[in-house]
Structure 1
């Protein structure tokens, strides 16, 4: 083989290696959100969640197109939470307390809407964020002891979260995406990105028991492609200087409110 071809091949390998090494940082830059972009993503995620819940609770037969559309709701909510949760670490316990209050306060409405669909002890999605925020708060304050306590708490909550709120994979997605977005560039952020990708894949395919091709089309592809498309769209349409337009507690009120309305509609 001519020496020039060998040299050319080595150069290509160096270029590919450099691109792979910088890939996590390029992904992280692509996930950076302005306040206005984050609010628009909340709107998209809320609409996707509403479509998913209508499909699950009101329609006589599950519509595959609506199911696929609903797969982007949870990843978008996790991205928004992970993007914001560590901006002021000293307020982590305050954030955790607020998440616990909303999660516990919303649980009766969640049980009302999903009665007969999920067990009475199934927990709503806000508990995922409450547990993850609590783990981060304890780790920030107590380090290794706090991490150990947070992992025990997470282990206790996995089972009731597994019925309707993604269980272990949901918690891993939330925590690993937080690590990826906020840890310094290096091996830790790369491992976190890998964990987040695996957890993202599991969260939205664990309840699909059909043929592998159906799982790919209805779950895996929408899970990865739709949230990415939504992020790219809102970043392109919003200015980085635009302020948020959504009231601070709107998501929590919209979550509880739409569950109550769906619960009423089921019983009419």
Structure 2
């Protein structure tokens, strides 16, 4: 007797809008509750291409508000707190998008490195320290580390550890190691084939998202989680049939351009 292997969320039919069923009719009450929770989380965290673009748009608005507040020194607490939701939203969409492929593609990582270098000039122009890496580097580092670790090569694993060690001191304005953990959990969540693993990863997300801003303040930590859950909850209820409306490289292009514009205006 063989057992059918479960597919990751993003590869099931429900990943494109159907729901998962429980394994069999003899599950215990706890198993049934876990199955219902897993099904609900899938409807909450797996989005159509149009929904992903809506979430990215919300994240872009939150990011711009935060940068305007910081670059122009407006010192508006509400803008700062709203901005705490931008990175977690981008990270979740990034993780879901990566799950479309069996492995992270090196050409896509190379594009991230390239855009990170381009955006670094605008990052400095906007008033950030020249030695602090912008957020595109966080995505590039995370993707590169995950790719090297997937190869199960001793040399590449050592290179991944070295890359994280080098990134740590340069990532003070880009969420540091906590940011890499957020990206890694988002990546793994949509590839997990076991229900228990998925539920554990969701629990990790609920801890990691506040941890991104915990060093800043308790209010910032809570705001990041609230903005993320609120946005995802609202978007998951609408826009399921909406097609994708942003081109592939829109985010890195917009990121670099908006920093350059804000930097020039602040001169």
**What TM-score comes out, normalization by structure 2 length?**
0.81
**Does residue 159 in structure 1 map to residue 201 in structure 2?**
no
- Using the TM superposition, give the Cα deviation of residue 24 of structure 1 relative to its aligned residue in structure 2, in angstroms: 4.8
Corresponding residue pairs, total = 240
Task: Measure, in 2, the Cα distance between the counterparts of 1:171 and 1:93.
Answer: 18
- Using the TM superposition, give the Cα deviation of residue 39 of structure 1 relative to its aligned residue in structure 2, in angstroms: 0.7
The structure 2 residue matched to 1:48, chosen from 62, 86, 96, is 62
Question: Residue 209 of structure 2 aligns with which residue?
Answer: 200
Gaps in structure 2 of 5+ consecutive residues: 1-27
Question: Residue 144 of structure 2 aligns with which residue?
Answer: 134
Q: Report SS of the residue matched to 2:237.
A: helix
- Using the TM superposition, give the Cα deviation of residue 25 of structure 1 relative to its aligned residue in structure 2, in angstroms: 5.2
Contact residue 139 and residue 145 of structure 1 kept, 8 A? no
- Using the TM superposition, give the Cα deviation of residue 63 of structure 1 relative to its aligned residue in structure 2, in angstroms: 1.3
The structure 2 residue matched to 1:93, chosen from 95, 106, 127, is 106
Cα RMSD for the two superposed structures: 2.2
Q: Deviations over 1:116-175 (max 9, x none)?
A: xxx3211100111101111222233345653443233112211111x2100010000100
Q: Deviations over 1:18-68 (max 9, x none)?
A: 5357535532441101000011111100000000111111134x2111111
Task: Measure, in 2, the Cα distance between the counterparts of 1:123 and 1:136.
Answer: 19
Q: Larger radius of gyration, structure 1 or 2?
A: 1
Contact residue 55 and residue 235 of structure 2 kept, 8 A? yes
Give runs of aligned pairs for residues 1-268 of structure 1, distance below 5 A: 15=29, 18-20=32-34, 23-24=37-38, 26-60=40-74, 62-90=75-103, 92-115=105-128, 119-142=129-152, 145-161=155-171, 163-208=172-217, 215=218, 218-240=219-241, 242-267=242-267
Task: Measure, in 2, the Cα distance between the counterparts of 1:259 and 1:21.
Answer: 44
Gaps in structure 1 of 5+ consecutive residues: 1-13, 209-214
Instruction: Classify 1:181/1:145 alpha carbon distance in 2 versus 1 (closer, same or farther; 3 Å).
Output: farther
Structure with the higher fraction of residues in helix conformation: 1
**What TM-score comes out, normalization by structure 1 length?**
0.81
Runs of 4+ in 1 over 6 A off after TM superposition: none
- Using the TM superposition, give the Cα deviation of residue 107 of structure 1 relative to its aligned residue in structure 2, in angstroms: 0.6
